[in-house]
């Protein structure tokens, strides 16, 4: 693949399509700043083409100085929170027996670790298998 002035380019993505994404320092820093994004040895890996396209757009705007990553994360979180408050989304989440949690992004990983630890013994004693 042809390189750019900021670094080599590589294909990323899953499913039927892959997308070209620069593996320059900004991409790697951005991917590390968002640990919940799956990645291979060096770059993010996406389940759907639109995820890669959205990430590429956000990265491009960040590289051009339009916003800092924390500004983007704050704005995205606010939009997600607004969407979760709509009756349509609330009803859909409830229909799936789910609930939303209003917590800062930094608190999600510790919360999930605590929940896994909390329920691990129950799962083990009940002989429940992950499917």
Q: What is the pLDDT of residues 27-55, one digit of tens each?
A: 555 555 555 666 677 677 787 888 888 88
Question: Tens of pLDDT along 56-87?
Answer: 898 899 999 999 988 888 888 889 889 988 99
Q: Say what the alpha-carbon torsion angle 72, 75, 76, 81 is, to the nearest 10 degrees.
A: 160
Between the alpha carbon of residue 130 and those of residues 7, 120, 123, the distances in Å are 40, 12, 9
Residues 87 and 115 in one domain: yes
> What total of structural domains would you count in the chain?
2
Point out the domain boundary residue: 66, 84, 112: 66
| Nearest Cα to Cα of residue 82 among 98, 74, 107, 109 | 74
Q: Using CA atoms, how far apart are residues 10 and 52, in angstroms rounded to an integer?
A: 12
Q: Using CA atoms, how far apart are residues 23 and 21, in angstroms rounded to an integer?
A: 6
Residue 130 lies in a domain: no
Q: Which two tokens stand for residue 107?
A: 């608190």
- Position 108 scores a pLDDT of 84
User: Is the pLDDT reported for residue 18 higher than 50?
Assistant: no
Residue 2 lies in a domain: no
Point out the domain boundary residue: 66, 99, 115: 66
Provide mean pLDDT across the span 2-18. Answer: 41
- Position 48 scores a pLDDT of 85
Residues 117 and 81 in one domain: yes
Range(s) of the domain holding residue 14: 9-66
Residues 76 and 45 in one domain: no
């Amino acid at each position: 693949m042809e390189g750019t002035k900021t670094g080599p380019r590589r294909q990323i993505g899953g499913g039927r399509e892959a997308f070209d994404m620069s593996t320059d320092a900004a991409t790697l820093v951005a991917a590390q700043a968002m640990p919940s994004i799956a990645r291979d040895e060096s770059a993010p890996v996406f389940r759907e083409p639109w995820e890669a396209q959205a990430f590429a757009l956000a990265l491009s705007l960040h590289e051009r100085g339009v916003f800092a990553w924390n500004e983007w994360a704050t704005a995205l979180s606010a939009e997600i929170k607004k969407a979760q408050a709509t009756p349509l989304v609330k009803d859909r989440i409830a229909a799936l027996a789910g609930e939303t949690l209003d917590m800062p992004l930094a608190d999600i990983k510790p919360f999930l670790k605590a929940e896994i630890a909390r329920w691990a013994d129950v799962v083990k004693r009940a002989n429940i298998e992950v499917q």
